[in-house]
Structure 1
Amino acid sequence: MGKRVTFWAFVVGCLAVLSGCAGPTGSPPEGGNGTHGDPMRFQGILAAGTDFVLLVKPDGVYGWGDNRFGQLAEDPDTLPFRSTPAKIPGLDEAIAVAAQFGIGENQRHALALMGDGRLQSWGVNPYGQLGRPQGYATEPPTFEPPDYGVAEGGSEHLANAVAIEAGRDFSLVIHVRDNERRVLGFGDNVNHSHVLTQNDDWYYDPRPLLRAEGQPLVGVQSVDAGDGHALLLLEDGTVWTTGSNSHGQRGIANVSDRYAQQVPGLADVVQVAGGREHSVALRRDGSVWAFGSNAEGQLGQDLSLTSTSTPQRVPFPSGVQIRFITAGGTHNLALDQNGRVWAWGSNDHGQLGQGNSGNSSPTPVQVKGEGCTGTLSGAVLVKAGYDFSLAVVQEGGNLVLYA
């Protein structure tokens, strides 16, 4: 099913694309196989945005997909899209990437974390989501090439960043100061119920996300952005959320304030993921929990449950332990202890990897192998774009990206 397009994508291996079922797109960092590798160690090398992909290789950052807003760091007037990955100049020292997630009218942006802890950004910048001045200077917003983001106060370049994330027109950075890990945010703060927890509608200078007492939330292990909400995993295994709660995606009933608040009853969590209007959490025991909209079965529950703010356990067969999760617009992917890939939720574009498109699935199903034969195995990392899916798979001595 579909055809394979191959080209050199990594130091070893090849990258190809196959429509319908999973098909290869080549080698993330060393990290073992689907059983022993830790996908959380190198999840930042691959970013699946709304309609584009970024990949960190040993020699720099590569991108492909839609470029109508300059999200591939090329002038969109001359290159509206690219189907073949190409290197983005000036990012040879990048160690992680982030791609805007969510549907906006005319906005896309991207981030790269450099090895020295500084941040580079590109795309469009109407809300200051690039971490540098522009705001509403032009309409439609103009493309901005890669450049460094500013530090708090809008002066020097931001430094001491350790992780990055891009939501719809806003950006989040885990920043270390005085040995404390906190989250800085910048960009659109008004269209997502004050997801950045500050008073201003939008701003480009990074500011900390705040607790209800008005103090910065510290001890943050990781962060993930949905379309208009954010999930913050603390080092103690608790989950905190900010932003929109239209379908209970914050995991808190009737919350309306702009501060970060803890999701009740959710503990011992090791990873979080945000979708368009839903959220997913992975606990240390390998169980997966989801809350928010269930319109496409993305909570793993019967469609009679339209939405909920109470975390629901996603049903997997007995003995399956999940090691990594990722959320798309209205679907999710999970990687189990044996390197198998599971998918559930919307399948309108074939993003569940079943060789067809159409009906959603509230029950997790195994992604099929290339040509829709057997099941995809040996995976070491999965990433969900808005309505597409990616999986890095170990094949012999190569690591190959399936899409």
Structure 2
Amino acid sequence: MAMTKVSGGKSVVLAWGSGEDGQLGMGNDDEKDWACEIKSLHPKQVTAVVAGSRNSLVICDDGNLFTWGWNQRSTLGHPPKTKTESVPSPVKELSGVKNKIVQAAIGGWHCLAVDDKGCTYAWGGNEYGQCGEEPERKNEGALKRDIVIPQCCVPHLSVCQVAAGGTHSVVLTTDGHIWTWGQPWPPGDIKQISTPVKVQGPERVRLISAGAFHNLALEESGLLWAWGNNEYGQLGTGDTQPRSQPILVQGLSGLTLVDIAAGGWHSNALTDKGEVYAWGRGEHGRLGFGDDKSSKMVPQKVQFLQGENVIQVSCGGTHSVALTRDGRMFSYGRGDHGRLGYGRKTTTGHPIEVPINIPAPNNSSNGRWRAEYVACGGRHTLAIASWVDEEEETADKLD
């Protein structure tokens, strides 16, 4: 899920990792080994961050949406005048919509956004119909390859959350149902489905998450469903058989889940006790099991995060980040290109804290930066952090 509200006071957007497509928003293509502030977003109040495979996106409190990074498929919602953009710029076609954009997602090369009235918008790559129903066609029977200007899609659905995979889209409606379109997985004989279909199985769903080619759905009852590619056990079913229909994830009975995250080929779930469970591809240590980098067919507790009181998890292409209640971030997985954010390019399965070493606002000396939300992309990470004075932090601990 890519939505959060930051606390009052000074807040910043941080970025680190690969910058080869400008996805860090620093005005260049340099990579960063440490968390750095995206200064061009100041003084905007950012309420949501989304990190894609090669793109980035933020939503501001006024509902405006800014994008940057790779743009060869119009993934940024801007005409593809340049292949990449390294400075955040507004998606102008969404700035004029009547309602405020409140949540968004980036897929392989397409984007989705939803406003506060439940209307969904899509743009970018569309060769598999992943941008939804598209009435305008290049020729008979052929979908437009790219949607350059964001368009309203699935107008008959009232949506509260969107998720985007490699070549497919998933939305959660206000009545707790899931709809999907684009290239399904396994694809079988169907090359594309541009018309949304209702996903059968999960009911009264409250959270969805899409990985590259698999999906997770968490019911209000606490049941967790998964479907799609399962090559590395990322569905948590105890095997590696792909599923075209949702199946219950094993090994989580008796737990109260509060957050889920689907990455490239791995999955995470978070309990109300701040415990993280991980499964799927273990290469590079992205599951957080230390020196054990084997893939896991069913969820297992990440013991190295035990006692840290985690409140959010995010899965990237080959790395993961966990956010604690006191605003610390722990990263683990593949370390090259600075994607772990603590100054070393070492690949590790041991969660290590990501420091926030940026100047205090207004020369403040009594306080610290506290991370509010984190979003992992393919080879980079975004985060929202706010400055907390010592007095405010003491008051929080007493509550």
TM-score (norm 2): 0.80
Identity level (%): 27
Tell me the equivalent position of 2:126.
Answer: 125
How far apart are 1:305 and its partner, in Å? Answer: 4.4
Q: Which has the higher helix share?
A: 2
Equivalent position to 2:87, from 84, 88, 110: 84
Amino acid at match of 2:32: S
Q: Deviation at 1:79?
A: 2.0
4+ residue runs over 6 A deviation? 27-30
2:232 aligns to what? 247
- Cα gap change, 1:166 to 1:64, in 2 (>3 Å): same
1:222 maps to: 207
Paired residue total: 345
Q: Is the 8 A contact 1:340 1:377 kept in 2?
A: no
2:192 is aligned to 202
1:262 and 2:260 aligned: no
Amino acid in the other structure paired with 1:392: I
Give the 3-state SS of the residue equivalent to 1:252 in structure 2.
coil
- From 331, 345, 363, the counterpart of 2:319: 331
Say which of 342, 351, 362 aligns to 1:364: 351
Judging changes above 3 Å, is the alpha-carbon distance between structure 1 residues 294 and 27 closer, same or farther for their aligned structure 2 residues?
farther
Structure 2 residue matching 1:349: 3-state secondary structure: helix
Which residue matches 1:193? 186
Task: Tell me which residue corresponds to 2:166.
Answer: 168
- Per the alignment, residue 391 of structure 1 pairs with 383
Instruction: Give the CA deviation at 1:14.
Output: 6.0
Distance 1:165 1:396 in 2: 31
Instruction: Find 1:235's aligned residue among 220, 231, 237.
Output: 220
Counting only pairs closer than 5 Å after superposition, residues 45-84 of structure 1 correspond to structure 2 as 45-59=48-62, 60-76=64-80, 78-84=81-87
> Which amino acid letter does the alignment assign opposite residue 125 of structure 1?
N
Shift of 1:12: 6.7
Report the Cα distance in structure 1 between the residues aligned to 2:207 and 2:11, rounded to whole angstroms.
30
Taking the aligned partners of 1:339 and 1:66, their CA distance within structure 2 comes to 30
SS of 1:23's equivalent in the other structure is strand
Taking the aligned partners of 1:165 and 1:142, their CA distance within structure 2 comes to 19
State the partner residue of 1:35: none
Letter of the 1:114 counterpart? D
Report if aligned partners of 1:11, 1:27 keep a CA contact under 8 Å in 2: no
Whole-angstrom distance in 1 between the partners of 2:278 and 2:12: 35
**Alignment gaps of 5+ in structure 2:** 1-7, 15-25, 360-367, 390-399
- 2: CA distance, partners of 1:366 / 1:158: 44
Give 1:61 shift. Answer: 0.6
Equivalent-residue separation in structure 2 for 1:208 and 1:95 (angstroms): 23
> Match for 1:306: what amino acid?
S
User: What is the CA deviation profile of residues 226-247 of structure 1, one whole-angstrom value per residue up to 9, with x for unaligned ones?
Assistant: 1100011111112110000000
Q: Residues 257 and 332 (structure 1 numbering): CA distance in 2 closer, same or farther, change over 3 Å? A: closer
Give the secondary-structure state (helix, strand or coil) at the position aligned to 1:165.
strand
* Aligned-partner Cα distance in 2 for 1:218–1:307: 29
Q: SS of 1:316's equivalent?
A: helix
Q: For residue 354 of structure 1, report the CA deviation from its aligned partner.
A: 1.4
Q: After superposition, what is the alpha-carbon deviation per residue over 1:126-167, rounded to whole angstroms, capped at 9, x for unaligned?
A: 01111123598379x3343111103xxxxxx23311110111
Give per-residue Cα distances to partners, 1:330-356, cap 9 Å, x unaligned.
Answer: 111111011101111111221111113
User: Distance between the aligned counterparts of 1:207 and 1:225, measured in 2?
Assistant: 16
